[in-house]
């Protein structure tokens, strides 16, 4: 599909209005996030998940593959469509994170933005620092063929 991916890790601060500067490299037409991103509580981690067109397409593909009316499809639809917020950039490339999402993800003023291919995550900095060593160990074990 040729999408450019979200790469890198950035330490940022939320201001009093919960504004967050999104890295310029993330704000491109190639990532599908030229004018803004959508954001929701991650289904897999204690953070926020965000992205553009590529991530939306992945979710849509997963949802559409499930039978209409199934409990699994309903759960994904409710979580993805009902839980997401479309956030546009202001003149400085910032988004305003809704307070409810910040509370649900346990975000404080210090956050980390982590590129993860077709998506990126927004973590509380302390929580991210606790997570780094075990995730790196799992990645190493997986690369060496010891995981799974």
- Give residue 1's pLDDT: 44
Torsion on CA atoms 78, 80, 63, 6, rounded to nearest 10: -170
Q: What is the pTM of this model?
A: 0.90
Which residue range(s) make up the domain with 50? 9-143
- Whether 4 is covered by a domain: the verdict is no
- Give residue 32's pLDDT: 81
- Whether 105 is covered by a domain: the verdict is yes
- Give residue 33's pLDDT: 86
- Whether 3 is covered by a domain: the verdict is no
CA 87, 16, 10, 44 dihedral sign is negative
- Whether 43 is covered by a domain: the verdict is yes
pLDDT average per 10 residues of sequence, the chain (148 residues):
78 95 90 90 95 90 96 95 94 94 96 95 97 93 80
Rounded to whole angstroms, the Cα distance separating 84 from 134 reads 29
| C-alpha distances in Å from residue 67, one per residue of 2, 58, 63, 70, 77 | 29, 17, 9, 6, 12
Torsion on CA atoms 99, 63, 23, 124, rounded to nearest 10: 40
Number of domains in the chain: 1
- Whether 1 is covered by a domain: the verdict is no
Rounded to whole angstroms, the Cα distance separating 139 from 45 reads 16
């Amino acid at each position: 599909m040729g999408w450019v991916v979200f790469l890198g890790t950035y330490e940022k601060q939320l201001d009093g209005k919960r504004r967050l500067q999104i890295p310029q490299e993330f704000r491109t037409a190639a990532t599908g996030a030229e004018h803004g991103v959508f954001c929701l509580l991650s289904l897999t981690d204690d953070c926020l998940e965000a992205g553009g067109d590529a991530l939306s397409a992945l979710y849509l593909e997963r949802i559409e593959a499930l039978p209409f009316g199934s409990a699994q499809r309903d759960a994904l639809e409710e979580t993805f469509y009902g839980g997401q917020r479309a956030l546009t950039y202001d003149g400085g490339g910032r988004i305003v994170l809704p307070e409810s999402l910040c509370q649900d993800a346990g975000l404080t003023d210090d956050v980390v933005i982590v590129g993860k291919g077709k998506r990126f995550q927004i973590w509380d900095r302390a929580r991210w620092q606790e997570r780094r060593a075990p995730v790196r160990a799992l990645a190493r074990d997986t690369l060496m063929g010891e995981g799974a």
